[in-house]
Amino acid sequence: MNDLRFALRQLRRNPGFTAVAVLTLALGIGANTAIFSVFKALVLEPLPYRDPLRLVHVWKSDIAIHDFMPLSGPDYFDLRAQNRCFEELGAYATARHNLGGDPPVRVQGILCTAAILRAFGVQPALGRWFTEAEETEGTRRVVVLSHRLWRERYAGDCGLVGRSIVVNGEGHEVVGITPPGFQFLSPWYRGSPFEVWTPLVLSRDEKERNGCYYLGLGRLKADRPIRAALEGAQTELRAIGQRVAEAHPATHYRKVFWAYPLVFQCVGGSVLGRLILLFWIAGLVLLVACANVASLLLTKGAERQAEVAVRFALGAARGRIIRQWLTESLLLALIGGLAGAGLAAAGLGLLHGLLPGDLQRAEGIRIDQWVLLFSLGLSGVTAVICGLIPALTVSQTRPMEIIKGGGSSGGSSRQARRRLLPRLAVAQLAIALCVANLAILMLVSYGRVLATPQGFEEQRVLTADVWLWGDRYREPEQKTHFWRQLLEQAEALPGVEAAAVTTKLPLEGGRNGEILVEGEVFDMQAKHPLVEMSWVSPSYFKAMGIALVRGRTMPPGTGIGGVHEAVVNRALAERYWPGQDGLGHSLRPNSPEPTWTAVIVGVVENVRQWGAESKPLPEIYFRYDAEPAVGAKLIVHSAAEPVLLVPALQREIARLDPDMPLSDVRTMRHVITASTAHRKFVTRLIELFMATALLLALVGVYGVISYQATHRTREFGLRLAFGASRRQIHRLVLRQALWIAGWGTLFGLGATLNLAFVLRHLLYGIDRLDVFALALAVVLVVVATLVAGSVPAWRVGRVDPINALRYE
């Protein structure tokens, strides 16, 4: 208690020292606290379901590797019939739903079997979930609404359950409302709030065996511990997969099923990797802060040698002195920790602004009691890291030397201090260099991602979602007709250069499959690369600004079924016909009974399909009217600012169908921004950490050079008295700074070379050992050191030799 009281008094009596140390620690602990608050919300927070660790996704996969292929309807029925390990097992797909009313809106929805909503183990706030009977074609149409949608669109009307609302142009009976705060976490459409659930009617038809669009979700039975239940499920799913593969070798050769816990999948591996990287770097910033505060405590120890000597003389043992110093550093760290938590809380607004929109559970990022506990725990660790060296150093004080010398000598503790302070400065610079290099690499990567030509027009292309649900659009011709009319009307609008429809946008993934080209025959054992597939209107390439490399685009007209004309991208042409133009060749699906054949009439420039950083994959563009999809994207190429066209486009759609909302309206620039949002988030945070680490290192080096210069004042006075010029004294101090910078750079380079592996999956267009980035980091660190050293150098250069010679 006395130690604590004394420590408090020490901090109060040295407000400057306390403020600098607390701020330094607050920056270090705050950075870690902020990252932990994100980590906790996204990864550690239990999922809001009953016994959430028993929830697993069921995927199809190659037998040799665990990959994530969706299930087909027949797969689902086989799994449901043969499994013994699931309490509930269902399948679902995501879809946009049009909600009728004024105004009509489009919401993200789920088509799911009845078991899906039961699997979560939560009860509806009102009404009920679906029943198996409602999964059948021809039964009455039912819908479950989210609590938020019910509250906001239907004013929380308790009488809504049992009434009918228009969903996708058809009346649906509302049978249930989800509980408040219920989140349907899915690896598909991450970050989108799902608002509507309708029953999924799956086909048992074997022709659908290869139509893999559904994700399995199951709850493991509670008769065994979770680990054993999961292992049992994996064994059973594998066995079911092998039986299905034996029965259907053409579609399931080497395919098995496997389970992946929802808790891992809802975070996403890449997000987890990036969070771990941010933890690494925040940890490095904290180490710089610790080294900085350790330096401060060491210099403070020099001032308090006499006090320590007296304590020794009065009978304090070394352990007692160490305890007292650790108490002081603990108190300092605790205040720093609280301040850090405050900084983190203040920075959460900024953090939320930087967060990618597709992060699930990001709304849970906040400073709560667990984050505070983490912050305090980290403060304890910090106290030991930054307090132990000064405590051990001060405990080496030789009391009689100090007492007799009036504090000017310090025996071994002074020697230790003189030895340790520059080393701590070197450590700070080395870590700062490491962080600076990581930040530069990430910054260059981000810049190169943004600068990479995407192969399409970014600024003047507008895109919007259109979903053709209901009886009006049941037949393919009806869908085609709608689009033909819409595109004609859109192209007639002033300022519109081209309008088109596509089933998917660049960078956002989509449908793919295996194909065969001429000369290849179906062989279930042969492995073929996946080819991306889009269904587009002929003007799509013009509207999207995708260059035609050779040939032509598909002509408008009929062509449903049979032989199609198709356009492929350059990657596909080069993959199958290197050195040739690829025109006139034909393609068909990798199937024993191909349902279509496509003749290549044109080759277009590559665009990336699965994100701004992924490699362009081979792709085939079919005509939209060959297989008109329910959900598609309107593409409009504008002569001017495309957003100005939105009201006119809404009017044109309303003329065709008053219940049809236009949703998800974006420019392609926004699509790129969304695709690079994760990288931007990480890069901005690392930049912030780099600035913090450099600032702390600069302050740390300044403190050490200042301390050393002050203790050499008498020597400088003597040198001046013997005729040294002020410039020579100046150089002496700067030489010390350069010595620190030199060793800091050397160790920093060593650490950088060893730590660069953490970035191996995160860099784009730059090598992790890029010489330019290393050189720039070194320049940054050396300049920071010289800036830090020039102030004390300038100060000692102005010293009066007479006063200096009197200095003790």
Partner 1 sequence: MNTNNTLITLEGITKVFYTDEVETHALAGVHLQVKRAEYVCIAGPSGCGKSTLLSILGLLDTPTEGRYMLNGQPVASLGHAARARIRNREVGFIFQSFNLIGDLTVYENVELPLTYRGLNATVRKQRAHEALEKVGMSHRMKHYPSQLSGGQQQRVAVARALAGKPSILLADEPTGNLDSKNGEAVMELLRALHREGATICMVTHDPRFARHAERTVHLFDGRIVEEVMSEE
Which residue blocks in 40-174 are alpha helix, DSSP H?
73-82, 114-119, 147-153
Cβ proximity to partner 1: between 6 and 188 the closer is: 6
CB of 739 to partner 1, least distance (A): 23
First to last CA, the chain: 36
| Region of 5-13, 36-44, 700-708, 731-739 interacting with partner 1 (CB under 8 A) | 5-13
What number of CA atoms fall less than 13 Å from residue 653's CA on the CB side?
18
Q: Which of 239, 272, 381, 403 binds partner 1 (CB under 8 A)?
A: 403
Q: Which of 120, 312, 577, 624 binds partner 1 (CB under 8 A)?
A: 312
Give one DSSP letter per residue of 186-222, joined into a string: -STTTTPPEEEEEE------GGGTT---BEEEEEE-T
**Phi, psi at residue 504, to the nearest 5°?**
-155, 155
CB of 321 to partner 1, least distance (A): 9
CB of 802 to partner 1, least distance (A): 26
| Region of 98-106, 304-312, 372-380, 599-607 interacting with partner 1 (CB under 8 A) | 304-312
Task: In whole angstroms, give the CA distance from residue 417 to residue 298.
Answer: 6
Instruction: Tell me the residue ranges of DSSP E strands in 658-766.
Output: 663-667
CB of 402 to partner 1, least distance (A): 9
Task: In whole angstroms, give the CA distance from residue 779 to residue 772.
Answer: 10
CB of 367 to partner 1, least distance (A): 34
Name the DSSP class of 90: E
Cβ proximity to partner 1: between 320 and 719 the closer is: 320
| Region of 66-74, 352-360, 403-411, 547-555 interacting with partner 1 (CB under 8 A) | 403-411
Name the DSSP class of 452: S
CB of 309 to partner 1, least distance (A): 7
| Region of 123-131, 160-168, 309-317, 648-656 interacting with partner 1 (CB under 8 A) | 309-317
Cβ proximity to partner 1: between 318 and 472 the closer is: 318
Q: Which of 122, 306, 345, 718 binds partner 1 (CB under 8 A)?
A: 306
Q: Which of 40, 209, 219, 311 binds partner 1 (CB under 8 A)?
A: 311
CB of 43 to partner 1, least distance (A): 46
Residue 310 engages partner 1 in binding (rule: CB under 8 A): yes
Task: In whole angstroms, give the CA distance from residue 621 to residue 604.
Answer: 9
**Would you tell me the crossing angle of helices 369-394 and 318-354 to the nearest 10 degrees?**
140
Residue 315 engages partner 1 in binding (rule: CB under 8 A): yes
Helix (H) or strand (E) run with residue 109 in it:
strand 105-112
Task: In whole angstroms, give the CA distance from residue 787 to residue 794.
Answer: 11
Cβ proximity to partner 1: between 345 and 403 the closer is: 403
Cβ proximity to partner 1: between 8 and 517 the closer is: 8
Contacts of 561 (CB under 8 A, 6+ apart): 596, 626
| Region of 2-10, 23-31, 92-100, 722-730 interacting with partner 1 (CB under 8 A) | 2-10
CB of 408 to partner 1, least distance (A): 12
Task: In whole angstroms, give the CA distance from residue 606 to residue 29.
Answer: 46
Q: How many residues bind partner 1 (CB under 8 A)?
A: 25
CA distances from 357 to 193, 451, 459, 512, 675 (A): 11, 22, 21, 25, 10
CB of 396 to partner 1, least distance (A): 11
Residue 4 engages partner 1 in binding (rule: CB under 8 A): no
Task: In whole angstroms, give the CA distance from residue 159 to residue 447.
Answer: 54
CB of 13 to partner 1, least distance (A): 6
Residue 805 CB neighbour total at 10 angstroms:
15
Q: Kind of pairing, strands 142-145 and 170-177? A: parallel
Cβ proximity to partner 1: between 133 and 400 the closer is: 400
Residue 9 engages partner 1 in binding (rule: CB under 8 A): yes
Cβ proximity to partner 1: between 296 and 516 the closer is: 296
Task: In whole angstroms, give the CA distance from residue 761 to residue 272.
Answer: 12
Q: Which of 224, 238, 254, 320 binds partner 1 (CB under 8 A)?
A: 320
Q: How big is the CA angle at 325 (ends 321 and 330), to the nearest 5 degrees?
A: 145
Q: Which of 19, 226, 317, 563 binds partner 1 (CB under 8 A)?
A: 317
Residue 662 engages partner 1 in binding (rule: CB under 8 A): no
Pick the closest to residue 790 from 782, 780, 802 (CA basis): 782
Task: In whole angstroms, give the CA distance from residue 263 to residue 556.
Answer: 47
CB of 299 to partner 1, least distance (A): 17
CB of 277 to partner 1, least distance (A): 44
Instruction: Identify whether the C-beta of residue 169 lies closer than 8 Å to the C-beta of residue 100.
Output: yes
Task: In whole angstroms, give the CA distance from residue 106 to residue 100.
Answer: 9
Cβ proximity to partner 1: between 249 and 407 the closer is: 407
Give one DSSP letter per residue of 758-790, joined into a string: GGTTT--SS-TT-HHHHHHHHHHHHHHHHHHHH
| Region of 6-14, 103-111, 276-284, 441-449 interacting with partner 1 (CB under 8 A) | 6-14
CB of 447 to partner 1, least distance (A): 53
Residue 406 engages partner 1 in binding (rule: CB under 8 A): yes
Q: Which residues pair with 634 in a beta bridge?
A: 464, 501
CB of 325 to partner 1, least distance (A): 14
Residue 314 engages partner 1 in binding (rule: CB under 8 A): yes
Cβ proximity to partner 1: between 409 and 803 the closer is: 409
Cβ proximity to partner 1: between 118 and 320 the closer is: 320
Cβ proximity to partner 1: between 414 and 679 the closer is: 414
CA distances from 318 to 339, 568, 740 (A): 31, 78, 31
CB of 295 to partner 1, least distance (A): 22
CB of 294 to partner 1, least distance (A): 21
Residue 328 engages partner 1 in binding (rule: CB under 8 A): no
Residue 392 engages partner 1 in binding (rule: CB under 8 A): no
DSSP percent split of the chain into helix, strand, coil, nearest 5: 55, 15, 30
Q: Which of 88, 134, 195, 307 binds partner 1 (CB under 8 A)?
A: 307
Contacts of 508 (CB under 8 A, 6+ apart): 671, 675
Residue 394 engages partner 1 in binding (rule: CB under 8 A): no
What number of CA atoms fall less than 13 Å from residue 93's CA on the CB side?
18
Residue 323 engages partner 1 in binding (rule: CB under 8 A): no
Residue 318 engages partner 1 in binding (rule: CB under 8 A): yes
Cβ burial of 739 (10 Å; 0-12, 13-18, 19+) is middle
Cβ proximity to partner 1: between 352 and 404 the closer is: 404
Q: Which of 44, 158, 250, 313 binds partner 1 (CB under 8 A)?
A: 313
Cβ burial of 16 (10 Å; 0-12, 13-18, 19+) is exposed
- Residues at the site binding partner 1, with contacts judged by CB under 8 A: 2, 6, 9-10, 13, 306-307, 309-320, 398-400, 403-404, 406
